[in-house]
Amino acid sequence: MKYFHKLATLAAGATMLATAGLTQVAFAQDAALTPGDLGLDTIRQNAGFGKKTIYQTVGDLIKVALTVVGLIAIVLVIFGGFKWMTSGGSEEKVDEAKKILYSGIIGLIIILSAYALTSFVLGTLLTATGATGFSGV
């Protein structure tokens, strides 16, 4: 137990020392808030982050996630087509290839629907709240 206590104290101290140089104080009270801003822009500037707003960052993350999932669906469609072409007329292999193709196409439809829904919902919410910085997903 004594060894665990020393190890925990050492780990906590090392963590505090390692992060001490990485943190900065960001006072949100320094600037007047505009409607829809929530003070996030001021905090971002004081913390030294990039020039993108939080809305653009969330939009970029959604784009990346949908792109990765879309690539997986496209690979499924290509794989299903390849499997069908190399089936050699075997009904079992053709049926398996059709299932893979259908799964890939349904996946693409779901991904495109998610993209359209996300773009619509985020755009509508941000317009309704008066937030700025959103250029669509």
Whether 111 contacts 72, CB under 8 Å: no
pLDDT of residue 92: 93
**pLDDT reported for residue 122:** 77
Residue 9 in any domain: the answer is no
Q: Does the residue 87 lie in any domain?
A: yes
Q: What is the domain extent for residue 100?
A: 53-132
Q: Is residue 46 part of a domain?
A: no
| Predicted structure pTM score | 0.55
Answer whether residue 107 is part of any domain: yes
Q: Is residue 104 part of a domain?
A: yes
**How many folded domains does the chain comprise?**
1
Q: What is the pLDDT of residue 47?
A: 76
User: pLDDT tens digits for 25-72?
Assistant: 555 455 565 666 666 767 767 776 777 767 777 777 888 888 899 899
In a domain, 29, yes or no: no
**Using one digit for the tens of pLDDT, what is the confidence trace for 59-106?**
778 888 888 998 999 999 999 999 999 998 899 999 999 999 999 999
| Rounded Cα gap, residues 85 and 89, in angstroms | 9
In-domain check, residue 41: no
Using an 8 Å Cβ cutoff, are 66 and 114 in contact?
yes
Judge whether 5 lies within some domain: no
